[in-house]
Structures are given as structure tokens and as C-alpha cells.
Amino acid sequence: MVPIKIALTKGRTEEQVLPILEASGIDCQGLRNKRRRLIFKEDPRYEIILVKGPDVLTYLNSGAVQVGIVGSDILAEQRNSQYAMLDLSVGKCRFVLASTEAFDPHQQRRKIIATKYPNITKDYFQRIGEDVEIVKIEGSVELAPLVGLADAIVDIVETGNTLRENNLRIYAKLMQVNTKLVVNRLALKQFRPQLRVLMTNLQRADAKFAAMNLIDSYAK
């Protein structure tokens, strides 16, 4: 049987999804002890490759992989047209507009907004009918309004710690984010029975984790 190829986003997503992959019955020994390896074939049903988030759709669209596991922030930013088939309960956070106390959301001057996500930012300001200048930066986004690079930022917030520790506050909530399983359109036909098994098992494993996390969060 030809294995299904899965592009898994390296880093935070990989760490959060790994227990779900294992609980779904996929052999992840290799991923657990990966060192610098990037391809994992321990489970004969799957070939898992580790890629940067923004590259997941490049692999998926080219047909190099059939399945991608990636944050909905990246899918929205890249205006994905493949099928996001499964919502996982991990990677949950949200997009916000944030800045210092001194920021005036109604300022007359055209605002400068710093972000890692220019399309999401553009779409948001278009929706509310405001023309802004967007400055794309690659990380530590919270710095931008503190050092005068921008008036405000559009970024991801999970716990709110990064905003708090940098004396920033939220001015608007844009959208929710979570990790998704995306499937290449062609693969849906070619790998239908195998994809059914993968998705059913993942959904079940994810539901179990979500329930356990819910109980833990209430029991704290």
C-alpha cells in the first residue's frame, strides 16, 4: 500500500499534535527521537515530513504530500483553496489588534500597522473600511509600537502574557485560530479509504485530548 504523505508544521504545532498522532495509533517513535531528521516512515501507512508552516501549502498544492497539518492563521494568510477537513483542538489562539495605552484608534493620521500577517491585516482593515500602511515583520511583533515602528500590531494572542509583559492592550478581536488538517483535492479521490481511517482515528484521539484538557482546566 502506498503511504499517505503528511506535511506537519515544525515547532509548536508539531509538539502539540504529536500526542494526538500517537493516540490515534500512528507510530511516532522517530518523531519522538528525531534529532535533525525530517522524514519519518516508522508507521508503514504514513510518511510524515517536517516543514515550516508557510511551506505546508506549497507541498500540498504541488501534490508532494496529500495531507497538511497547519495553523488556520497560515491558511487564512495564504488564502488557501484546498479542503480544511478537520479541526484539531490544539493551537488555539486569536488574532487581535493591540497597542500601547496611548494609542488612539480614531487618530486622523493614516495608521501604520506591524504584523507577520499582512493579508489578514489588509482584509481586516478593508472590512472596517480603513486605509492603513502595513509593515511586515518576522517576529517579536510586540516591539513595533513600543519603539515607534508602528502605531499598532495585528498578532496572535494565546495567554495574553506577551501583551501584558510589554504593557500592550487589545483594541479589537479579529478571528479565532486553531490547528487544521488540510487535504489535497486530488488525494481525496485517490486515497479516500486511507484518508477515512486517518481522519476518523485523529478525530477520536483529538476529542479524547480535548475532553482531558477541559477537565484539567476546570480542576486547576
Q: Which amino acid is at 21?
A: L
Residue 34 binds ligand ATP (CB under 6 A):
no
In sign, the C-alpha dihedral spanning 134, 139, 143, 148 is negative
63 binds ligand ATP, rule: CB under 6 A = no
- CA torsion 206→208→209→210, rounded to 10°? 80
Residue 140 contact partner, candidates ligand PRP, ligand ATP, none, CB within 5 to 8 A by sort of partner? ligand PRP
Tracing cell 498544492 back to the chain, one arrives at: 61
Q: Say how far apart CA 205 and CA 96 lie, in whole Å.
A: 30
Enclosing H/E stretch for 46? strand 46-51
What DSSP character marks residue 91?
S
Radius of gyration of the chain (CA): 19
Give me the least distance between CB of 152 and ligand PRP, in Å please.
Answer: 14
Kindly tell me which of 74 and 183 has the beta carbon lying closer to ligand ATP.
74
Smaller CB distance to ligand ATP: residue 66 or 179? 179
Q: Name the minimum Å distance from CB 82 to ligand PRP.
A: 24
In the complex, least distance from residue 130 CB atom to ligand ATP, rounded to whole angstroms: 25
Q: Does 115 bind ligand ATP (CB under 6 A)?
A: no
Type of residue at 8: L
Q: Which of 4, 21, 26, 93 binds ligand ATP (CB under 6 A)?
A: 93
Contact positions with ligand ATP (CB under 6 A) in 174-213: 177
Site for ligand ATP, rule CB under 6 A: 9, 11-13, 53, 71, 73-74, 91, 93, 139, 156, 158, 177
